[in-house]
Amino acid sequence: MNEHDTRDDTRTGVDPGRLDDQQLMKELETIHRTRHDTLLYGSNDALRAHNDRMAGLEGEWLRRNPRRPVAPGRTREGARERGGCGQTAAPGV
């Protein structure tokens, strides 16, 4: 896909299913980086568009990675073991 080809762009960007893995990850990194500011300072329309785009991108990533590693500390059981201290662990940590 040509990065400047906008024929199939929608209001919220290129369909996530049309992105290759590298493009999808770049889009996910960008949307997560801008989330906080959009939540705090964006209009209702901007937040709605952000929510829709994030859901589409994350859904596509999950579809492509059904067997992704899950950190034990990111499960209900792991949270109970932490005692609700608010600590998080990344996979492999």
- pLDDT confidence of residue 92: 55
Quick count: other Cβ atoms within 10 Å of Cβ 27? 20
Report residue 93 as tokens: 């940590």
| Distance (Å, whole) CA 6 – CA 40 | 29
**What is the overall mean pLDDT for the chain?**
85
Q: What is the DSSP string of 34-83?
A: HHHHHHHHS-HHHHHHHHHHHHHHHHHHHHH-TT----GGGSHHHHHHHT
Residue pLDDT, tens place only, 46-91: 999 999 999 999 999 999 999 999 999 888 988 888 875 555 555 5
CB 61 within 8 A of CB 52: no
CB 53 within 8 A of CB 12: yes
CB 32 within 8 A of CB 44: no
Residue with the larger pLDDT of the pair 80 and 22: 22
